Amino acid sequence: MGSFEFKKKFGQNFLSDEALLTQIAKISGIMSDDVVVEIGAGKGALTKVLSRFAKKVYSFEIDKDLFLFLENEFANTNVQFVFEDIMNYSDEKLNKLVGGKFKLVANLPYYVTSPIITRFLKNKNMESLTVMVQEEVADRIIAKPKTKDYGVLTVICQMYGEPQKALRVGREYFTPVPKVDSAVVKIDRKNSEFASHEKFISFVKQAFAMRRKKLSTNLACQNISKAEIEKFLLSIGHSEESRAEELSLNEFKSLFELIYDKKL
């Protein structure tokens, strides 16, 4: 790599331990006939391991300074690089590129973790998601109701599967060394579809907007009063004093359906 400089703006922290990278590939459950979408090729260490397991790897990398190195390193392999920001690459374009079902694997920078996970869980072609995230984010994803880590990201992830914190990864495995430890989270996507996905997410975000406030306060708006919300809370087995972190995913669904009179 020679003169390559790590770019803080891209949240670049690279992994190179082959045993660890192989463990991540195995956690992702990739088989020889699978297509993989990787987000963040970096120096290609994980890409190389994924390519050994998968039929085809489409690897997205935002840093165009890595173009020559990666193209030379992976010439005549089953890896195709896309030097674009995945968040600016539409689902329609991605689905056309991969041509069907795929498994997503990524070492995600903190600043795009929630947007990427939220977006890809909606994609019907994605079979599973295996991501390296900061450990505190992993704890939020797998959190249970009535805990401090339970929040919007928890509910969104659990809408589409049962997240597992599959592996803890110490900061010393990364270059440059970050200030926090990381963890690998795996979500096998369920076949559940949600016609009102966006509206439900907005609803959950509103519910958690002010954690110390009662749900009836957070959710009250022009179209529905606090008194009505309190009545709905009682009907699903909660008190008028309930806060967002006390509701399970199914209770959030029930409350949403009562308020909006529609099925998810």
pLDDT digits (tens, 9 = 90+) for 43-52: 899 999 999 9
Within-domain flag for 3: no
Per-residue model confidence (pLDDT) at position 191: 75
Same domain for 37 and 116, yes or no, is yes
Same domain for 49 and 30, yes or no, is yes
Handedness of CA 160, 166, 169, 173 (dihedral sign): negative
Same domain for 241 and 176, yes or no, is no
Q: Which of 239, 227, 233, 226 is nearest to 258 (CA)?
A: 233
What is the domain-level CATH number for residue 158? 3.40.50.150
Q: Mean pLDDT over all residues of the chain?
A: 90
Q: Which of 158, 188, 218 is the last residue of a domain?
A: 188
Reply yes or no on whether the pLDDT at 262 is more than 90.
Answer: no
Same domain for 129 and 209, yes or no, is no
Same domain for 30 and 115, yes or no, is yes
Reply yes or no on whether the pLDDT at 177 is more than 70.
Answer: yes
Reply yes or no on whether the pLDDT at 76 is more than 80.
Answer: yes
Show the domain range for 134. Answer: 11-188
Q: Which of 134, 87, 103, 97 is nearest to 35 (CA)?
A: 103
Reply yes or no on whether the pLDDT at 5 is more than 70.
Answer: no
Dist. CA 159–CA 145, nearest whole Å? 14
